[in-house]
A = this chain, B = another copy of it.
Amino acid sequence: MSSIHEECGVFGVFAPKPMETAQITYYGLYALQHRGQESCGIVVNDDGQFCSHKDLGLVSEVFSEDVLSRFPRGRMAVGHVRYGTTGGTSRRNCQPIEVNHQKGKMALAHNGNLSNTDKLRDVLELSGAIFHTTSDTETIAYIITKERLKTDSIEKAVSEAMPVLDGAYSLVLMSPRKLICVRDPYGFRPLCYGKTRDGVYIVASESCAVRAVGAEVIRDVAPGEILEFSDEGVVSHREHCQEKEKKICIFEYIYFARPDSKIDGVSVHLSRVRAGRILARTHPVSADLVMGAPDSGLDAALGFSQESGIPFGIGLIKNKYIGRTFISPEQGARLDAVKIKLSAVEESVKGKRVVLADDSIVRGNTIGRVVELLRDAGAKEVHVRISSPPFLHPCYYGTDVDSEENLIACKHAVSEIAAMIGADSLGYFPVEKLSSLTEEGGFCSACFDGRYPTAIPTKIRK
């Protein structure tokens, strides 16, 4: 139920011979749709000719049977799903970005956010560049193209560009003859790749997308690594990049990624179950039933139930038909958006002391209404358990965790928030236990603790 959004998902295909790479990408994007629902796009590489279709809307809306059938067969394709926090919702900002430069033709899909984009853009503009979009992906494209003029290969251009780029970027890019994927030196955003039995390589933000198209996951792309897919095979480049401590976004585990994905070797589902277990230990409570806010709180609820021994139950039903085009009832009307979207199962919660698990609280409005729904359905007590620490700082690496004035935890103590949302008790996941979520460690939790791995931007250009 989090209202925090990921900015993007990326996908790429490299096949040994021409085939329906557009279709493969289409299904891959379906698997990544949770990472961005605002726009999407596919570019197919048909022997050096790029053919693309991108538009605002879900994968199911942008790609009709007709549109899909008009793509040529090709050996490569790049795809993207996007949720845009900056730059407005504009067709112009749809990705993959295509560059037609005589020496640097490419299509580029990006997940993440640069933290020095404005500085880079100023420099580029004053030396003659003209930007068409408001996304930082175009900045990356320009810098790579600039380097491409000085070098003799696309992978070299990428490696030369990397020291200039600050922040989060998992990229999939395609030149006429190569597919390249890169993960920034901190590894803020996930990226992995795999291979089908027929020898088709698949690159994707999450392993669930690799598996959805029938490939086996080979491994995660390492922070700072460039992978080059071409007729010469797969080549890994790591030497160009100064070693850094990995800083994978911890919120990928807590909320963004699909539970059936594995990121940097760690199961997302298990890390959420583990979060629930830790919550049960750090914020125990006597109760009759543990339930999750659908769908984001289910795994943590399961963990809480396992650790505490309190039975797991289903107490809330989410209307699964409510999507992008749902028309919200007018403010002040008799109708209530939360009641339309969510409904309590009276028989589950009536007369019970309920533990409600959810992934996060941003402003507190929604969770408050859910607590009310449960009380209306007869719950005797409602204890809220949140599987992340309180948001206290904005994110500059590709999510929309907002400025401090919009974060409830910046202004109120936990006990105040509990009162505001009407909960009998409220427990947040302890920030000092975040390292227990994965066996691996090495993550960015700046939105919780303010420790930014990079310098942060001083202004935001509109």
A→B interface (CB under 8 Å): 20, 23-24, 26-27, 30-31, 33-34, 58-61, 63-66, 68, 91, 98-104, 122, 124-132, 134, 141-142, 145-146, 149, 196, 198, 200, 208, 211-214, 258-260, 262, 267, 269-270, 295, 298-299, 302, 306, 311-314, 317, 319-323, 325-327, 329, 333-336, 339-340, 343-348
Name the residue of chain B whose CB is nearest to the CB of A122.
B102
Question: A61 to chain B: which residues have CB within 8 Å?
Answer: 325
The verdict on A340 contacting B212 (CB below 8 Å), with A313-B302, A314-B299 known, is: yes
A23 near B335 with CB under 8 A, answer: yes
Question: A131 to chain B: which residues have CB within 8 Å?
Answer: 100-101
Contact residue among B24, B295, B299, B311 (Cβ-Cβ distance under 8 Å from A306): B311
B146 near A269 with CB under 8 A, answer: no
CB distance from A342 to the nearest CB of B (A): 9
B141 near A258 with CB under 8 A, answer: no
CB distance from A460 to the nearest CB of B (A): 14
The verdict on A30 contacting B321 (CB below 8 Å), with A198-B334, A259-B345, A314-B302 known, is: yes
Cα-based distance from A317 to B322 in the complex (angstroms): 19
The verdict on A343 contacting B60 (CB below 8 Å), with A125-B101, A126-B149, A214-B336 known, is: no
The verdict on A100 contacting B134 (CB below 8 Å), with A267-B347, A322-B30 known, is: yes
Contact residue among B66, B149, B339 (Cβ-Cβ distance under 8 Å from A211): B339
Question: A214 to chain B: which residues have CB within 8 Å?
Answer: 334-336, 339
Question: A24 to chain B: which residues have CB within 8 Å?
Answer: 335
Cα-based distance from A33 to B322 in the complex (angstroms): 10
Q: List 8 A-B contacts (CB under 8 A).
A: A20-B333, A30-B322, A91-B91, A100-B131, A124-B128, A129-B130, A267-B346, A298-B314
Cα-based distance from A340 to B336 in the complex (angstroms): 34
The verdict on A66 contacting B66 (CB below 8 Å), with A101-B131, A345-B259 known, is: yes
Cα-based distance from A99 to B132 in the complex (angstroms): 6
Cα-based distance from A127 to B312 in the complex (angstroms): 61
The verdict on A321 contacting B23 (CB below 8 Å), with A127-B128, A149-B126 known, is: no
Cα-based distance from A27 to B129 in the complex (angstroms): 35
Name the residue of chain B whose CB is nearest to the CB of A55.
B91
A65 near B327 with CB under 8 A, answer: yes
Question: A347 to chain B: which residues have CB within 8 Å?
Answer: 262, 267, 269-270
CB distance from A82 to the nearest CB of B (A): 14
Question: A20 to chain B: which residues have CB within 8 Å?
Answer: 333
Cα-based distance from A100 to B93 in the complex (angstroms): 13
Question: A142 to chain B: which residues have CB within 8 Å?
Answer: 128, 130
Cα-based distance from A142 to B27 in the complex (angstroms): 39
Question: A130 to chain B: which residues have CB within 8 Å?
Answer: 99-101, 104, 129-130, 141-142, 145
The verdict on A128 contacting B129 (CB below 8 Å), with A259-B345, A260-B343, A312-B302 known, is: yes
Cα-based distance from A270 to B349 in the complex (angstroms): 12
Contact residue among B124, B212, B258, B319 (Cβ-Cβ distance under 8 Å from A30): B319
A125 near B141 with CB under 8 A, answer: no
Question: A343 to chain B: which residues have CB within 8 Å?
Answer: 31, 208, 211-212, 258, 260
Cα-based distance from A262 to B350 in the complex (angstroms): 14
The verdict on A100 contacting B132 (CB below 8 Å), with A214-B335, A343-B211 known, is: yes
Question: A128 to chain B: which residues have CB within 8 Å?
Answer: 124, 127-129, 142, 145-146, 149
Question: A320 to chain B: which residues have CB within 8 Å?
Answer: 34, 295, 320
Contact residue among B260, B262, B295, B326 (Cβ-Cβ distance under 8 Å from A60): B326
A212 near B339 with CB under 8 A, answer: yes
CB distance from A157 to the nearest CB of B (A): 13
Name the residue of chain B whose CB is nearest to the CB of A131.
B100
CB distance from A345 to the nearest CB of B (A): 5
Cα-based distance from A336 to B327 in the complex (angstroms): 34
CB distance from A97 to the nearest CB of B (A): 9
The verdict on A59 contacting B321 (CB below 8 Å), with A128-B128, A214-B335, A340-B212 known, is: yes
